[in-house]
Amino acid sequence: MEKLSLEDVEFIKILAFSDSTLIQKGMTESTMMVLETRIGPILREYYIENTQQIGSKWTEEFTKMGISEDQGKAAIACARRLGIEII
């Protein structure tokens, strides 16, 4: 099973606790690349798990790393506002 790195956890928590307009102001091309290629797919799979009740790989990993369900939902909402395709 794939695990969240500390960098992944930090990105997800920043998304969960930040205003997307503030993130956009400080976003670099490399940050957007990480969001699109690493964090976006994780949040997409997490979303599918929680809406379709399919598996629990990321749900368990989020919980283990101290990311609550509400924080996960907030991170998804912020990622969507930043243009990351979740579904």
DSSP states of 5-71: -HHHHHHHHHHHHS-HHHHHHH--HHHHHHIIIIIHHHHHHHHHHHHH----HHHHHHHHTT--HHH
What pLDDT is stored for residue 39 in this prediction? 95
pLDDT 10s digits, 45-82: 999 999 998 878 999 999 999 999 999 999 999 999 99
What pLDDT is stored for residue 6 in this prediction? 95
